[in-house]
Amino acid sequence: MTVVIVAAVALAIVALDVVATLRLSSSGVYTRSQKTAQMVILWAIPIAGAVFVLVVMASDKVVVGSSGSSDDPGMGPYSGAYDGSASAHHGDGHVGH
């Protein structure tokens, strides 16, 4: 029974590391050297390394996804088109649209 539990825990740890490795390798956000460094951390410290890599990837995804590229000012959260029409403005004082 103990062997089964140890094997299940080991399999879960390897599965977590494999998932983190696959997500990291398919990411276009990091350079090759950044991916290599994160993979070393990931496999050197099995559980904490995988959690660290997945958390960093999630936070980087939120930062990139919410603000766009810092090189392109037109990709920020406030870059929606404004045409000046009344339908784009809700606080203009008119009651019956």
**Number of helices and strands in the chain (H, E):** 3, 0
For 57-73, how does the pLDDT look when each residue is reduced to its tens digit (9 = 90+)?
A: 888 776 655 554 444 44
Above 80 in pLDDT, residue 84?
Answer: no
Side chain identity at 76, as an amino acid letter?
Answer: G
pTM: 0.57
The candidate with the shortest Cα–Cα distance to 97, out of 46, 6, 88, 25, is 88
Give whole-number Cα distances, 92 to 56, 81, 83, 89, in Å: 43, 18, 15, 6
